[in-house]
Structure formats: structure tokens, C-alpha cells
Amino acid sequence: MENPTQLFGHSEALIDKLRLFSLFFEDENVIRIYARTRVIHNLFRDNKELDAHKLELFHLQYTESILALLLRIKQNNEKHVTQLTGEIGVNEELIKNLSEAMQQEQSFLQARIAQANAVGVALNKLYQNLSDYARDNPFPARLAEFSNTYAKDFFYEVAPELADELLDYDPDRVYRNGYGTIEKKLMGLQCKHQFRNLFHAGLKSGYRVMEVYRLADFIVEDDDNEYFVYDPSRNLFLGCETEKLSNIETTGTLSKKAQIVLELNEKNARLKNAIPAARIAIPGEVASLLKDYSTRIEDINFLDLIDDFDIQANILKTMLNTDSI
């Protein structure tokens, strides 16, 4: 059996743990339990006529159970906080990737303007080439670099059947030379509109890529096809009926990515704000039990009930076994 000095030393150690938990949780009931436990300890310490082993019994029945309960809550809270910080980390990685993608999209938006101008220049040179049999290649290598650079991430996937349909042509209705092929009607429209075009969308189907353009100043009442398709692998230009493009989703994704980044940043802000409270949260059922226990040990007659272990320990066993922790 331990002597009083050892008992009070053990009691001090338990109370110090309670003090640390009261500082950690900043919970009114935990603070009251710590304060009242300290009062009970001091009562036994300062009154030698009291049996110090009753203090030991008190700690065995109550304090150690309370400490085990609070430790369990703290550990569960730490797991929850780890989940929150993990989610924040995943969101931050996604934000980083989306931000990089947005930068690529900005590059794509600028590059497609330059590409449309380059296609216009190439068509103008092809026209001159076809007219006077010049030998200059109208299609510089950089013209194909656009689709090589951006097709993977920014061209829309289409069915092989549609790709076949878009690239099919009647040989009798095209101009061709050793450099390229263009539909006769389309060349007429290009000359009429001074080779001014706008990039509409990029399409891909398997290994094939196509760039879709539209006339910059298309006149509904006067012109034929507003759109045309360019196959950079063959320098092939064909007119395209609007109906063939109607089922292709060609809306930009920049605004969608920006919205997702905004939502993720807002979510991370909420998660970060929730972490301090999550770290010290005490489940409602446990908080109620702690309040009942705090009220019980503040009862002036509490010490008279210490020996009744079975009755008084039930509430703490309920705490430790609760599923809500």
C-alpha cells in the first residue's frame, strides 16, 4: 500500500494532467472539474485526519476515468483535424493544377488568335501560288505547331464518323497543288473577305486533328458556309455546314475552372477556420455527462459517497463507452 507522500504525489500528477486538458479544451465543465478536483486534493492534503486512501479511491473511480475520456476525445479530434488538413492539402493541389491550366488556357486564347491570322496569311499565299504557279510553300512548319501544342488539352473529341464526314470532299470541287488543297467555293469566300478568319474550335478523333474557323465578317444573306475545317496534316481546307457542328460542345472552360478555383479557395478558408474549433470540440452527449459529473463533485456531500463505487462509477463508464466519442 502506498504511503501518503506517494499518494499525494500521484494525485498531483493526475491533477496536473487535468489542468493541461482544461487549458487545451477551454471548456467550462472541464475547468470546473479541474478546480474542484484540486479542492478535494487540497482538502485531503491539509487535513491529516482524513484517510488519504479515500483520495486515491476518488482518483481511481473518477479522475482517471475523466482523463481517459478526455484523452480519447482529444485523439479523435486530432484524427478529425488530420482529415480536414488532408482535404485542404488535396484542394490546394487541385487549385495549383487548375491555376496552371488556366495559365495554359490564357496561352491558348492568345495563340488561337495568332493561328487564325497565320491561316489567313497561308490561304492568301496559297491563292497566289495557285494563280501564278509560284513555288513558295504557303504553309510554314509553325502552322502545324498550334495543333501539336494544344490538341491534347483544348481540342474537343468527336466521333470518327463525324471526322470522316468533315474531311470528305469531291476532288472535282477543290483546287490543289503540291502544297495544299482547298475547296473552290471556300477560296472564293476567302478572297471576298480578304482572308480574315476567326478560330472557332479544335477537334480531334483518334490521331486526327482538325481546326475549325469561321469567316470574320460572314454575311448571312450573301455568303455560303460560315465555317471551314483545316486539316494541318494535309493542308486541307474544306467548307463546313453549320449543322455539322451543332452537337459539338465548344464553350470555353476558362470560366468553369476559375469558378472551381474560387469555390475551392472559399472551401479551404472555411476548413481552416473550422480547425481550431474541431481541435477542442467535445461531443454534445459527453458535454452533458461532464456537466453532470461537475455538478456531482461540487456537491458538499460528495465525499460521503466515494465508497459507493458501483453506483458512482456508472456515469463515467457510460462516458467511456459512449459511441458518440
Higher-pLDDT residue of 224 and 274 is: 274
C-alpha distance from residue 189 to each of 98, 192, 198, 200 (Å): 40, 5, 14, 17
pLDDT tens-place string over residues 191-216: 988 999 999 999 999 899 999 999 88
Kindly indicate the confidence band of residue 134, based on its pLDDT and cuts at 50, 70 and 90. low
Reported as type and span, the H/E element at residue 227 is strand 227-231
Do residues 231 and 213 touch, judged by C-beta distance below 8 A? Answer: no
pLDDT the model gives residue 38: 93
pLDDT of 304 = 61
Q: How confident is the model at residue 178 (pLDDT cuts 50, 70, 90)?
A: confident
Per-residue pLDDT at 292 exceeds 70: yes
Q: How many CB atoms lie within 10 A of CB 166?
A: 23
Predicted confidence band of residue 310 (pLDDT cuts 50, 70, 90): very low
Q: What is the pLDDT of residue 2?
A: 66
Task: Tell me how crowded residue 214 is: count the other CB atoms within 10 A of its CB.
Answer: 19
Tell me what pLDDT residue 312 has.
45
For the cut 70, the answer to whether the pLDDT of residue 234 exceeds it is: yes
Instruction: Provide the phi-psi class of 306: left if phi over 0, else alpha when psi is between -120 and 50, else beta.
Output: alpha
Q: What is the mean pLDDT of the chain?
A: 87
More confident residue, 222 or 167: 167
CB 175 within 8 A of CB 184: yes
- Confidence grade of residue 309 (pLDDT, cut at 50, 70, 90): very low
Instruction: Please give the average per-residue pLDDT across 235-254, as a whole number.
Output: 78
106, 253 Cβ separation under 8 angstroms: no
Pick from 87-96, 97-106, 308-317 the range whose average pLDDT is largest.
87-96
Amino acid letter at 66? I
Is the pLDDT at 318 greater than 60? The verdict is no
Q: How confident is the model at residue 298 (pLDDT cuts 50, 70, 90)?
A: confident
Q: By the 8 A CB rule, do 217 and 192 touch?
A: no
| pLDDT mean over 247-258 | 66
**What is the pLDDT at residue 302?**
60
Cα pseudo-dihedral 171, 174, 176, 180, rounded to 10 = -110
pLDDT, tens only, 99-128: 888 888 889 989 999 999 999 999 999 998
Rounded distance between C-alpha atoms, residue 202 and residue 213, angstroms: 9
For residue range 42-79, list pLDDT tens digits in order. Answer: 988 888 888 888 888 889 888 999 999 999 999 999 99
CA distance 33 to 14: 12
Contacts of 190 (CB under 8 A, 6+ apart): 120, 123, 124, 127, 182, 197
Contact 285, 324 (CB under 8 A): yes
